Amino acid sequence: MTAQSGATEKALESIAALSGRSHREALALLPDLQRHGAQTVEAWLTAARRLLEYDIDAGGAFVQGTREAERISETVMPWTAQALRFLQWPAATAAIDGFMKNLPRAFGTLGHAGEPRWAEIGLRWYGRHAESGRLYFNTPVLDLAGRQGIAGIEQLCDPAEEMFERRKLMLATYLPGAVRVRNLLGAQAIVPWATRGADIMQGGRVRGEAYFRLESEESLSALIDHLPGFRMADRNHLLGLLLEIWFERRFDLKESAWSPEKGRPFVETDGRSLFLPAVMPDREEAILAVLHSAGRISFGSFERAALDTIFRETGLDLPDSGAISWAPLYERYGEDLLRFQLLFDLCDDLRIDCRIQRVVPNYLSRLHAAGVEHRVRLLDARPYYEAALISVRGALALLRGDAAGVPADFDPRLKPLLEPAATLADAFRIANDLYAGSILAPVIDAEVFRSAYLPGRAPNAARAVHAQEGEDQPQQTKAGADADQEKSEGEDSQEDEQNAESGGDQSAAQEKMVASDSKSSGASRQTLQRTQTPDGNEKGAEKGKPYPEWDYREGRYKRNWCWVQEKPLADSNATEADRLMAQYAMALKRLKKAIQAQKPTRMAPKVRQFDGDDIDLNAAVTYAAERIAGMSPEPSIYRRREIRQRDVAVTLLADMSTSIMQHLPEGGGRLVDRIRAGVLLFAESMEEVGDAYSIAGFASKYRDNVSYFTIKEFDQPYTPAVRSVIGGMSGRLATRMGAAIRHATARFAGVQCGRRLLLLLSDGRPEDYDDGGDRRYLHEDTRMAVKEAVACGIHPYCITVDTMANQYLPQIFGPGHYMVLDHINSLPNKLPEIYLRLRR
């Protein structure tokens, strides 16, 4: 310290003048820094001075961070140089602070090769967008790297580079979400997630930011969509079918509020409904899980009598009504409650699974096979998992009558549980017995606890339960029962909500432990909303009816993606309708005549047939005459009557987007005038033809706001009021055609007609505000919607006035299933004509 050069002294002095604290710290650091040589010390002091001059706090952070940085990196110059680079920007203090704090970690985990890369990425981002850089340097290096060193950081930031260049997406928006997405789903999920986010961002900044924060419903469903495994929601129907097959009753399947961050997904039950997570690891586990949970409902895990016994034995009172929490039952086990829970569940699950085995052949062997295959990964959970597996193997052998096959370590105390007469109370007693002498290690970690369950099984106490009354339930009068029913249903929905929201009824101790789960409570509330809305409550009615949408980029449907709201068209314009009627009076007259001429009034006999009901006398005479004349005529001498059934129903679906409001290039009004006239003539013609028909229009803004305007229903008479509504048709918003087609298809459901036609009247390609400029997206979706309609026995046909339509309609509707009208003025006349031609 004696040999400090003049330069060092000077530098120290100027530091002292700037900040006394930094001066003291610098003095303390000098001995360590001197190992690197006098030049380094000088450079460092200069840097510290410059940073202090730039900002007191920035310099302070630099000096403060030096000790650790130097200790870990055993260098000074490289990171000092990096820190100085911040000086080119104003107000970078927060970033410098983050940089210095993360330096030791960066050197520690990324090494000398990785650290410069880490700094480089951050500095580049800082240059582009200060907030992004600041956030980057303040994100712990470990989070950025995701246990993969610098490769992990690059993996995380490379998509951001691309998104920045293509979509001007900032790292600050993307980073926190991306880290979580990678933790949950792995690196490959980042790009699709971010791409979708950039699309949404274009639709609206607030929505986009919520998406990236993983707070919006959209981002959660996007995440869940990318989870690997067996998608429960998509296979709800199959699972319901299987339950009905095996248990011969229906079960109420609900979506649980599970999200990937909550750890291992379980199928849970509250004694009434099954709560399915969005995704299970595989099909086998999913099937085992629903069978198991349904078994718990069916085989007395919620029987009031048994619950009562348990509570009484524990010295507690069973609540008379409402949901019952398991918590009081476990309280007396204190810190060790998870161990008891595991043992109790092992016993009751074994009992349930043996009962299920009697209904579902080979259930136990499947459970065992799945259990063997999925061997638990967590070491602490293994003893419990193995114990459960052994109990299943033992039960399997015993039920087969194969006493020799029972594993040696099968606990004979479990035997009574294999009997069909065993109850929950027996399981409780045996569990207590096992617990008393248990040598299994206590469990305190929630993850260990969750891992200890065999595939398909789940913590039984996850939800508050509804007790099932026994057979001896007192008979009530019908009215009384109904009222009761209503009341309890009202309660239900509340309870369910709570149940779904809290993700279960965890005991206090456990709640503390799984507190990390509840961090995402905002997210779970979102999921909850999604679960609730389709139930047809008021909110649901507002939101409309959900339809899937086809995403060609991923080659799959996005479930409940589009929401269609059905509404009547508010505007009506009788004057306009009358005017149009007058304007097209001649055309209408012609049309009606044509229709009458085409209308078959009697059964048309077909003559000169090779077979038939009757002899065609003329043909027969000719035949006989020719025969006698020595010719060899064909014996086509029958006639046959054929009934032509006019078994047609048609929906005219008009595109009512903004574009129809444009003025016609050739003058003479707007496109909407021709559309009104066309629809009007169509309706008038249909009255003449006599086929069932409905008229509707559609417009959209974003996927959750597709309006379907009903103008005339199938069974609604064609009145002047309907005519006025047609006169008042106008354009608004965009064209999400697929959703409208799906809704129109659904509306055909009640129509009993052999031939069903969906006539689409359009003026342009399908597009919407949130298609991210990707035209192909809605094209492909519309194509799929058309395919779905065809599969439902409906023939979609598109009439368009977009002269460019040849470029896209063949792909969507298929050749021959569309018509492009080159002259918009011909639309009113053509529309009914086309229909008549189609229905022939």
Partner 1 sequence: MTTAAKRVRGVEHDILQMPQASDVSPYYEPQGNEVAIFEAAYRKRLPIMLKGPTGCGKTRFLEHMAAELKRPLVTVSCHEDLTSSDLVGRFLIEGAETVWQDGPLTRAVKSGAICYLDEIVEARTDSTVVIHALTDHRRKLSIEKKGQEIDAHEDFLLVISYNPGYQTVLKDLKQSTKQRFIAINFDFPNEETERKIIANEVPGMSPDIVNKLVAAGRKARLLKDHGLEEATSTRALVYAANMMSAGLDPVTACQVAMINPLTDDIELAEAMLEIIRAHFQA
Binding residues vs partner 1 (CB under 8 A): 235, 237-238, 241-242, 244-246, 248, 287, 360-363, 365-366, 613-615, 620, 623-624, 627-628, 635, 637, 752
Tell me how far, at minimum, the Cβ of 649 lies from partner 1, in Å: 14
Find the shortest distance in angstroms from Cβ 555 to partner 1.
16
Distance, CA of 613 to CA of 594 (rounded, Å): 32
Least distance CB 235 / partner 1 (angstroms): 8
Return the closest-CA partner of residue 351 out of 385, 322, 401, 388: 388
Q: Among residues 87 and 753, whose Cβ is nearest to partner 1?
A: 753
Which CB sits closer to partner 1, 433 or 614? 614
SS3 state at 807: helix
Q: Which two tokens stand for residue 728?
A: 């008042």
Question: Contact at 8 Å (CB) between 656 and 627?
Answer: no
Evaluate whether 169 touches 158 at the Cβ level (below 8 Å).
Answer: no
As measured in angstroms, the least distance from the Cβ of 776 to partner 1 is: 27
Q: How far is the CB of 295 from partner 1 (least distance, A)?
A: 14
Question: Cα–Cα–Cα angle for 396, 398, 403, nearest 5°?
Answer: 125
Nearest to 460 by CA among 427, 433, 482: 427
Q: How far is the CB of 296 from partner 1 (least distance, A)?
A: 19
Q: State how far the Cα of 710 lies from the Cα of 50, in Å rounded to an integer.
A: 72
Of 520, 458, 445, 449, nearest to 280 by C-alpha is 458
Taking the least distance from each CB to partner 1, the nearer of 20 and 405 is: 405
Report the residue number, 373 or 571, with the smaller CB distance to partner 1: 373
Name which of 236 and 325 has its Cβ closer to partner 1: 236
Owner of token pair 């979706």: 781
Which string of DSSP letters, residue by residue, matches 152-203?
HHHHHHHHHHHHHHHH---HHHHHHHHHHHHHHH-GGGHHHHHHHHHHHHHH
Cβ closest to partner 1, residue 37 vs residue 635: 635
Distance CA 802, CA 531 (A): 40
If the CB atoms of residues 297 and 637 are measured against partner 1, the closer one turns out to be: 637
Comparison of 251 and 808: residue with beta carbon closer to partner 1: 251
CA 447 to chain centre: 25
- As measured in angstroms, the least distance from the Cβ of 158 to partner 1 is 39
Q: Name the one residue in this structure whose structure tokens are 């008009």.
A: 654
Task: Provide DSSP, 365-386.
Answer: HHHHHHHHHT--S-GGGHHHHH
341 close to 431: Cβ distance less than 8 angstroms:
no
Q: Which helix (H) or strand (E) holds 706?
A: strand 706-712
The residue (of 385 and 623) whose beta carbon lies closer to partner 1 is 623
CB of 360 to partner 1, least distance (A): 6
Do 619 and 636 form a contact (C-beta atoms < 8 A)?
yes
- Tell the smallest beta-carbon distance from residue 635 to partner 1 (Å): 6
Query: Which residue's CB is nearer to partner 1, number 31 or number 750?
Result: 750
In angstroms, what is the minimal distance from the CB of 245 to partner 1?
5
Distances (CA, A) of 217 to 192, 222, 229, 538: 16, 8, 20, 19
